[in-house]
Chain A
Amino acid sequence: MKRYQLIIFAVLLFLMNSFCFADSKELNIYVWYNEIPQSVIKKFEKETGIHVNYADYNDNEVLYAKLKADPNSGYDIVEPSSYFVSRMSREGMLQPLDKQKLYNFKYIDNAFRNPNYDANDTYSIPWMWGMTGIFVNKQFFNPNEITSWKDFWNKKYYNQIMLLDDPREVFNIGLLTLGVSPNTNNLADIKAGYENLSKLLPNVKLFNSDAIPSIFIDADATIGMAWNGDVYRAQQENPNLVFIYPQDGFVIWVDCMTIPKNAPHLANAYKFLNFLMEPENASKVTMVFGYATANAQAKNYLPKAMQNNPTIFPSDEILKRGIFQTDLNNQALQAYAKYWELLKLNA
């Protein structure tokens, strides 16, 4: 009996070792669902011989909790959104990037360099970006009558509007229509935003952030707030959908590639980042996903119809109304949580 135990123990030990001292020809990435197409990863594996372990999430909080709970979780590349880049870098969860090694950084669009959420691009490389605007199904409403968020408050949209199920996104509307910056930490402003949104509630049909394209396509909701890429993909199946950039401003988010502290395969991570910044590879995400790439040259690799599609790439004039989303302080976050709960209770 003793001998059997020994053998089993030895085998287990051997197996664990083979996992612990994993081959250095490996790379562990943890990114937003769908934001790095499989074809790009396959190509990278083929060119470099590095095996990529790919995992994905659908919420910044999921990534944040995972890294916070286990700082040695072994990921080499993670992809927080802009305002999470500032939170995670402030809390020492990311490591500064070595610009010397990122020879392809030159392809990044100037508009996305040195952003307010990450001064001097210390921690992050902008990868993909999008905007929250208004979608309208023109079979049901006239898109020309809706030009700004303020129009949502019009009585004729009683019980029609879809809002995203996300406190930051919804408060952005409440604040923008008051002429206040959506990045405000001022508690009085946040309260005013809440009171403003309370008046919108009779017009709200649903709060939802799941399976969005199918709701647009099947006309379960015909007017509301939406991310531009979702509308672009839904337009491929339902051409009646229109995306509108509101006159009173809109929020731009950027999903960024970063390297977390304690990343075990640093050299491979830099190789992969340079590979992603190759314009042709960067163009693939827009092809597959319908969101804009932050790579200035990548646009040239897209079909003309996509390059000129205003739902994906708005004109510079429209972009001037966009505001980058930044992180809030803890007091403001608590206020958001409180008022969000009240809002949903009254809905």
Chain B
Amino acid sequence: MKVISRLFLLLIYAFLYVPIIVLIIYSFNNSQYSMLWHGFTWAWYQQLSSDSDLISSAVNSIALGVSASSIATLLGTLCAVSLYRYNFKGQKLLYFTVFLLILMPDIVIGTSLLILFSTANFELGFFSLLIAHITLCLPFVVIVIYSRLTTVDENIFEAALDLGATNSIIFKRILIPLLTPGLIAAWLLSFTLSLDDVIISYFVSGPNFQILPLQIFSMVKLGVDPEINALTSIIFAITVLFVLISHFSLRKK
């Protein structure tokens, strides 16, 4: 029985990680199109380093991801805290509309934002993408932070009030430190969502701000370039590094 459960676990992990490993292996394959092994090469990494177009869309994507996830984390945290700590009119409604956004298909968000931007004569580009990605990430942030808040003992707040703390001190000294792991998780989740979104971005992207997922998507018909494999391998390595750093820095505390 134990063997079977081990095997099952192994299969699940293989299912999740084999595609990524294959992609990394192909980034070293010495062939432009073929999916068979033609020997080891660094050529795609070299070619990538001189491909200014691809690098600039990768930089754009990362800049967009960082700003969208930071703003979404900030707004989402405020939203979750107010939903949790205070009672006000329309609270239930607010709660459900946030969760409704998670279930909303991307294509609905994308088209409705595009219609909004085009009726408001808002130029499509960095800011339209930023607003769209904040909308996309916000509900996920709220969920992560809210579920973290529900694990906090409510008596802490009363004790703090008893000792003369004001609401802003409670927020700064108690809530933020308790929420830190949740904040990091929410930020990383938002960043990933923003980085790989194709559908919403397709609608609201403009001519002067090209981002990576859309560029990769347009390559599919020809067979994805090994340069893309190289780029995604680098991004994967950075992600792993990120996760490791956050893991160890949190454990020390």
Judged by a CB distance under 8 angstroms, whether B196 is at the interface is no
B34 and A19 contact, CB distance less than 8 A: no
Judged by a CB distance under 8 angstroms, whether A73 is at the interface is yes
Q: Once bound together, how far apart are the Cα atoms of A71 and B222, in whole Å?
A: 28
Instruction: Report A204-219 CB contacts with B as 1/0, cut-off 8 Å.
Output: 0000011111100110
A33 and B219 contact, CB distance less than 8 A: yes
Among B35, B123, B209, B218, contact of A57 (Cβ-Cβ < 8 Å):
B218
Judged by a CB distance under 8 angstroms, whether A347 is at the interface is no
Among B51, B207, B220, contact of A53 (Cβ-Cβ < 8 Å):
B207
Judged by a CB distance under 8 angstroms, whether B206 is at the interface is yes
With both chains docked as a complex, state the minimum distance between the C-beta of A146 and any C-beta of chain B, in angstroms: 23
Interface residues of B in 44-79 (CB under 8 A from A): 51, 53
B121 and A72 contact, CB distance less than 8 A: yes
With both chains docked as a complex, state the minimum distance between the C-beta of A33 and any C-beta of chain B, in angstroms: 5
A237 and B34 contact, CB distance less than 8 A: yes
Judged by a CB distance under 8 angstroms, whether A28 is at the interface is yes
Q: Once bound together, how far apart are the Cα atoms of A57 and B214, in whole Å?
A: 8
Q: Once bound together, how far apart are the Cα atoms of A237 and B38, in whole Å?
A: 11
Among B53, B118, B214, B223, contact of A38 (Cβ-Cβ < 8 Å):
B53
A70 and B114 contact, CB distance less than 8 A: yes
Interface residues of B in 201-244 (CB under 8 A from A): 202-203, 205-210, 214-215, 217-224
A210 and B207 contact, CB distance less than 8 A: no
Q: Which residues of A contact B117 (CB under 8 A)?
A: 70
Among B34, B203, B206, contact of A217 (Cβ-Cβ < 8 Å):
B34
A58 and B207 contact, CB distance less than 8 A: no
B125 and A54 contact, CB distance less than 8 A: no
Q: Which residues of A contact B210 (CB under 8 A)?
A: 53-55
Among A30, A53, A75, A210, contact of B221 (Cβ-Cβ < 8 Å):
A210
B124 and A74 contact, CB distance less than 8 A: yes
Among A15, A55, A66, A211, contact of B223 (Cβ-Cβ < 8 Å):
A211
A19 and B218 contact, CB distance less than 8 A: no
Q: Once bound together, how far apart are the Cα atoms of A114 and B123, in whole Å?
A: 36
Judged by a CB distance under 8 angstroms, whether B22 is at the interface is no
Q: Which residue of A lies closest to B215 (CB)?
A: A56
Among B127, B207, B215, contact of A74 (Cβ-Cβ < 8 Å):
B207
B124 and A237 contact, CB distance less than 8 A: no
Q: Which residue of B lies closest to A213 (CB)?
A: B33
Q: Which residues of B contact A75 (CB under 8 A)?
A: 207
With both chains docked as a complex, state the minimum distance between the C-beta of B60 and any C-beta of chain A, in angstroms: 11
Q: Once bound together, how far apart are the Cα atoms of A73 and B224, in whole Å?
A: 27
B220 and A210 contact, CB distance less than 8 A: yes
Judged by a CB distance under 8 angstroms, whether A22 is at the interface is yes
B32 and A237 contact, CB distance less than 8 A: yes
Q: Which residues of A contact B135 (CB under 8 A)?
A: none
Q: Which residues of B contact A59 (CB under 8 A)?
A: 221
Q: Once bound together, how far apart are the Cα atoms of A237 and B34, in whole Å?
A: 8
B206 and A73 contact, CB distance less than 8 A: yes
Instruction: Report B121-158 CB contacts with A as 1/0, cut-off 8 Å.
Output: 10111110000000000000000000000000000000
With both chains docked as a complex, state the minimum distance between the C-beta of A266 and any C-beta of chain B, in angstroms: 14
Q: Which residues of B contact A26 (CB under 8 A)?
A: 208
B218 and A56 contact, CB distance less than 8 A: yes
A73 and B207 contact, CB distance less than 8 A: yes
Judged by a CB distance under 8 angstroms, whether B111 is at the interface is yes
Q: Which residues of B contact A274 (CB under 8 A)?
A: none
B123 and A58 contact, CB distance less than 8 A: no
With both chains docked as a complex, state the minimum distance between the C-beta of A127 and any C-beta of chain B, in angstroms: 17
With both chains docked as a complex, state the minimum distance between the C-beta of A346 and any C-beta of chain B, in angstroms: 25
Q: Once bound together, how far apart are the Cα atoms of A255 and B215, in whole Å?
A: 20
A214 and B223 contact, CB distance less than 8 A: yes
Q: Once bound together, how far apart are the Cα atoms of A219 and B91, in whole Å?
A: 61
Among A38, A55, A212, A214, contact of B207 (Cβ-Cβ < 8 Å):
A55
Judged by a CB distance under 8 angstroms, whether A150 is at the interface is no
Among A19, A66, A213, A233, contact of B125 (Cβ-Cβ < 8 Å):
A19
With both chains docked as a complex, state the minimum distance between the C-beta of A19 and any C-beta of chain B, in angstroms: 6
With both chains docked as a complex, state the minimum distance between the C-beta of A286 and any C-beta of chain B, in angstroms: 16
Q: Which residues of A contact B214 (CB under 8 A)?
A: 55
B223 and A58 contact, CB distance less than 8 A: no
Task: Tell whether A19 pairs with B126 under 8 Å between CB atoms, given A38-B53, A72-B118.
Answer: yes
Judged by a CB distance under 8 angstroms, whether A34 is at the interface is yes
With both chains docked as a complex, state the minimum distance between the C-beta of B166 and any C-beta of chain A, in angstroms: 15
Among A15, A62, A71, A74, contact of B206 (Cβ-Cβ < 8 Å):
A74
Footprint of B on A, CB under 8 Å?
Answer: 15-16, 19-20, 22, 26, 28-30, 33-34, 38, 53-59, 62, 66, 69-76, 209-214, 217-218, 230, 233-234, 237-238
**A-B contacts, 24 listed (Cβ < 8 Å):** A26-B208, A33-B219, A53-B210, A54-B53, A54-B210, A55-B205, A56-B218, A58-B219, A58-B221, A62-B218, A69-B111, A69-B203, A70-B114, A71-B118, A72-B118, A74-B123, A74-B207, A209-B221, A211-B221, A212-B223, A214-B34, A217-B34, A237-B31, A238-B34
* 10 other A-B residue contacts (CB within 8 Å) besides A62-B202, A217-B33: A28-B208, A29-B207, A66-B203, A69-B115, A70-B117, A73-B206, A74-B207, A210-B220, A217-B34, A230-B222
